[in-house]
Structures are given as structure tokens and as C-alpha cells.
Chains A and B, each alone.
Chain A
Amino acid sequence: MHRVWGIFAVFLLLPLSALAQNAARDEREQEMQEMRARIEKLEKLVAQLQKEKETNNGVATAPAAGDTLQAVATPSSHEPPAAGPVTSMDHSDNQGAATNSVERNFPALHFRGFGDMDFSATDDKTTKSGFNMGQLILHVSSPLSEKVSVFGETSFTAQAAATATAYNVDVERLLIRYDYNDYFKLSFGRYHTPINYWNTAFHHGLWLQTTIARPEMIRFGGRFQPVHFVGMLAEGNIPSGPVGLGYNAGLGNGRSGNIARAGDGGDVNDNRAWVVSLFSRPAALNGLQVGGAVYGDSITPSPALTGNPRFQELITSAHIVWTKETPEFLAEFTHVRHRNSVTQAEFNSDAAYAQVAYRLPGVGRKWKPYYRFEWSNINPSDVLFTVSSQPAPVVNDLTGSTVGVRYDITSLAAFKGEYRHTTRKVTDPIVNGFFFQTSFTF
């Protein structure tokens, strides 16, 4: 009992330590404010001196603001030559320490990291309570030229096995993209499949998502949907005015013999997987996105199943999200159909979730309570989901609720605590659990 209180005390102390950080931040912001005021004062002085100098030299003065508003304000004859390209990219934007360099160099290399530390305690007799290291994610973005960029995401994951001696390192994403214009961007590499919203909105950055974990239907290492995709992808906007349409269309290797993984080293058969998604972000409703996707593949599981069947997979999905925080709303539905190539039998399974969160106003703005309902209805005869020879866990029916709260310690770190109530098969016990997480980006 004392141990539990001790753990709770540790987690409660985290927000308190954040208060001390906020005081230091306020002081720094005040300094920045003073510095900015001085710069602006000096700029005004320079402008005034320049104007006086031009007047003394008998040169026409720069147009006043009112004149400028009438039309293009053309540079005066004494205007200094234009500065070089200005694309100084400030990665510590909210820190106020802008790097005002006025030159863009290629290639540039930008790093961002994500990390998390977790604690869980459940009444599931098959798991143990305790702390565990989450993932360390290193994300790189590197513009090689105005139109070509490289993006990469690497994960370092602590292994759960008692005999494990090292972290598991995985290349989660690596792609090179050529931007022709807003309507056509072509890339090659390893992606998170644009098959639903969550998979391409939050990736491995747990700090980005409101809750501690992904919905089960799109969990990493799961069998229900192919989370990764190796191949090529075209994406862009569709000229549609206020409707704000966009698309993704991809061709790739699809699932590997282990159906929870993508075919990184090559496809397991001669059939390519394909995915097409369409979404709308209406101009009149900033924050709303609705969309859907269709994914097709031919799966050859390994080790081979009895009769050596292949399976035609067709996944259809739909989503509607409201990305504002007052409230935030996400809902997705996915239907998976597998057809056995030998028996021609079809197996249909469905999964969905709906999540709502609300950023509290005023002094409570660091707090964001949330609730998520998850549901899945898995066809028990679908061997791809239930066979035990596959390394990934079997997929079962699920009805679950998650209620929790996110507290933003700073603008780049958050503490989350949640309670989950999960029911799987009728024969399985109901599982209750408490989960805590500190997630951050740097």
C-alpha cells in the first residue's frame, strides 16, 4: 500500500516541479520582450536617420504607410540590394530564441526527438505492474533542395523479454520526396500506411497524441491493419476551392510473411499492395477533416498455413476528426475483408474507436481530460488473425473504455494518467488498469 502511495506521490510531484520551471520561463520571456522592444526602437531610429539622410541628399523619401497601401511600394533608388534568401528555421520557436540568419543552405539537417516513460498497474494476472521505458524516437528532416526532402524516423525500444540484452532499433520511416507543386508530390521509401487518420497523424510521437496509447486497431506490432508500407506514394491537394480535398495514392510491398510487418527486404509475392485515400479539410470549418481510404493486397503468410493458401485483403476505412482542443474529437472505422484463395471463403472483421477530449479554459488550460471508446468485432474463423504461428499477438474482439487526463507540464512535455476497462472474448476476464506516462519532445 505504501509503495502505491509512493508512486502516486512521485507522479503528483511532477506538476509541482513544472511550476518552478514556469517561473523561470516567465523571467526569460520578460527579458526577450525587453530585447525585442530595444531592437524595434533601434530599427525606428535607423529608419528615421535614413529618411533624414535621404532628405538632405535631395532624394525622394520612401513612401509613407498610406502610400504603400495604395499599391506596390517599389524600392527607392537608394534601397540596399535585396538580402539573400530568408528561411532561417527556428526549431526552438516557442523559446523566443529565434535564429535570424538570412540564408537557406542545402542540405540542411534538423533533428527532433520524442521519448516517454511509463507506469502500469492492472488486474490482469498475465502481466506485471511496474515502470517501463517507452520508445526513444529520433526524427530527422533534411531539405536537399527547394523541392527535394528526406525524412526519417528511427525507434529505440526496450525489449520486454527477461533475457533481453539490448534495445531493439528499427527504421520506422525513411523516405525521399520530390515536390512538383501543391498538387503532386512523389516519394519513395518506408511509410506509415495512409490507411487511417491516427497512423499518419501521430506516428511514434506519443507526445503528439492526447492519450497514452494508440487505439488497438492501429497498434504497432498488431495484425489488424498494415501499419507500415514500403514503396512509393503520390500525394497532394486536389483543386476544389472551399472543400479542401487532398489525396494519397501508393503502391508497395504490402504485408510480409509476418503480417504485422511490411516487406522491407522485398515482397513475399508478386502482387503489389495499393492504397488510395481521399480527405477533405473544408475552409469554412478550420480543424475539421473527413476522409476515407481503400487498401488492397495479396497476403502470403509465413510459416505457410495448411493447404498453402494466399489471402486477398481489402481494407476500407473512414474517419472524421475535429483537431481543435475545445473540444477535440476523433472517430474512425475500419472494415477488413480476407478471401482465402483456396476455399474462396470470405472473412469480415470490423473495428472502430471514438475519442473526445477538452482543453480546460483559463487557469486550467494545462489540463485536458479525455475519453475513448474502442470496439472490434473479429471473425474467429479468420486464421490470419487467430493463428498462433504468427509472431504478433492474435486479434480478438474488444470492447473498451479509457478515461484519463493530460497535463502539459511545459509546451513540450506532458504527463498523462488514465484508467482502462477492457472486455475481450466472453471467456476472458474483464481487465481494469491504471496507466501513467510522461512523454516529451526535444
Chain B
Amino acid sequence: MRTKSYVWICGVLAGLVAFWLITIRAAGTPAEADVAIVVSPSNPVNNLTLADLRKIYMGERQYWTTSSPVIVLMRSPGAREREVILRVVYQMTQEQYTHYWVAKVMRAEASDPPASLFSYGIVQEGVRGNPGAIGYVNMNDLRSGVKVVRIGGLLPGEPGYLLH
């Protein structure tokens, strides 16, 4: 009987230790990286306010200049970066985002919703190849050939940066 109790106690203790180890490991994991807004290096824009970024992503600002239309690139549903953009920039759920763009096209305010791209690599290729494109990517996944835009004067990783 006593042996059985010891087994139970040891089991519970082992479970607690395992839980503690997992917790420690989780605590040691670096926080989710900031999301960087990227444009083509040929785009003269270096800084945008969050309000500017919202106007661009919501299709209310469709031109950088008269001769340069904005091409908005999104990640496909499920990507963490997309969730950040939906939460901070759009302030919408996925369902509300879908509804918003169906309505926007129906109103003839845009001819298409933004492109949804599968991977951060495709997003950056798209930005690199299009002077008017704007996309977003996890700051740890940045590659060469794109320019990171300051948001409210801040770069990803700096204190107070909003897109995380």
C-alpha cells in the first residue's frame, strides 16, 4: 500500500517537474518577432504612420504617385503576420476582412481584393519585382532586395513598434 502511494507521489512530482521544465522552456522562448512592412528599394517612401498604412491596406489610398499604383500584398489565412495585420491595421477578424473586400469591390472602389500569398518568400519576391508593391514579413525572415518602412518613425524591434 505504502509502495503504491510512493509511486503515485513520484508520478505527481515527475509531472510537476516536467510541467516546470516546459514552462521554463516556454519562458525562455523569444517573444514573437515584429512584423516588418516592406516595399521596393525604388519606392521613395521610408516612413508611414499607422493611419497611412491603414489607408493603404484598406484600399483608400491606391496610388503612391499619379503614375505609381499601390499593389497590396497579403499573406494567406493562417500566417501569423496576417493575423497581426488584421488585428492592428485592419482591426478586423478574418470574416470581417472578407466582408470588407467583397463590399469594396461591389462598390467599385477596387477591382480586386489584395493578393494573398502563401509564403514570406513569395511576398518578398513580389515586393522586389514591383516598385508599387507593399507587403509584410516577420522581421526574422527578411531577405535582401526589399526596403523596410518605418511605422510611426520606428523600425521593427525598436521599443514601441506597433506591429507585433
Q: Which A residues are within 8 Å of any B CB, using their own CB?
A: 29, 32-33, 36, 39-40, 43-44, 46-47, 62-63, 65, 68-69, 71-76, 79, 82-91, 93-94, 96, 98, 100, 102, 108, 110, 112, 139, 141-143, 146-147, 149, 151, 153, 173, 175, 177, 179-182, 187, 200-203, 205, 207-208, 237, 242, 244, 281, 283-284, 286-287, 324-325, 365, 408, 411-412, 441
Contact = CB atoms under 8 A, between A and B. Distances in A.
Interface of B is mostly: mixed
A72 B79 CA distance: 25
A98 B120 CA distance: 13
Closest 9 CB pairs of A and B: A86-B126, A82-B129, A89-B112, A62-B144, A283-B51, A75-B145, A83-B129, A151-B108, A43-B121
A1 to B, nearest CB: 38
B94 A98 contact: no
Contacts of A182: 61-63
21 contacts: A40-B119, A43-B121, A44-B141, A63-B144, A74-B144, A75-B41, A75-B128, A82-B130, A83-B126, A86-B129, A86-B133, A93-B116, A96-B76, A98-B118, A141-B105, A141-B108, A141-B112, A151-B111, A202-B103, A411-B99, A412-B102
Q: Which of B74, B96, B112, B144 has the most CB of A within 10 A?
A: B144
A94 B155 contact: no
Nearest to A83: B129
Nearest to A82: B129
Interface in B25-63: 36, 41, 51, 54-55, 60-63
B77 interface: yes
A411 B115 contact: no
B103 A143 contact: no
Give the interface size bracket for B toward A.
35 or more
A74 B106 CA distance: 39
Contact of A93 (B63, B77, B125, B140): B77
Q: Which of B69, B108, B155 has the most CB of A within 10 A?
A: B108
A201 B128 contact: no
A22 B143 CA distance: 37
A205 B133 CA distance: 30
Given A73-B144, A82-B129, A201 B113 contact: no
A69 B103 contact: no
A284 B54 CA distance: 11
Nearest to A142: B111
A242 B62 CA distance: 17
B120 A208 contact: no
Interface in B111-164: 111-122, 125-130, 133, 139-148, 155-157
Nearest to A323: B100
Nearest to B93: A365
Contacts of A46: 121
A47 B99 CA distance: 36
Q: Which of B62, B78, B105, B115 has the most CB of A within 10 A?
A: B115
Given A36-B79, A69-B139, 20 more contacts: A36-B78, A69-B36, A73-B41, A73-B143, A73-B146, A83-B129, A85-B129, A86-B73, A86-B117, A86-B126, A86-B130, A91-B112, A102-B126, A108-B112, A141-B105, A151-B108, A173-B108, A182-B63, A287-B91, A412-B98
A127 to B, nearest CB: 30
Contact of A205 (B103, B129, B147): B103
Contacts of A201: 103, 107
Contacts of B3: none
A146 B69 contact: yes
Given A40-B119, A73-B142, A94 B77 contact: yes
Nearest to A43: B121
A85 B95 contact: no
B129 A87 contact: no
A86 B132 CA distance: 10
A283 B54 contact: yes
A90 B107 contact: no
Nearest to B76: A98
A36 B118 contact: yes
A90 B113 CA distance: 7
Contact of B77 (A96, A110, A143): A96
A43 B120 contact: yes
A65 B148 CA distance: 10
Contact of B106 (A149, A203, A286): A203
A3 to B, nearest CB: 35
A44 to B, nearest CB: 8
Interface string B2-41: 0000000000000000000000000000000000100001
A146 B131 CA distance: 14
Contact of A441 (B51, B71, B102): B102
A93 B54 CA distance: 19
A71 B148 CA distance: 7
Nearest to A46: B121
Contacts of A147: 69
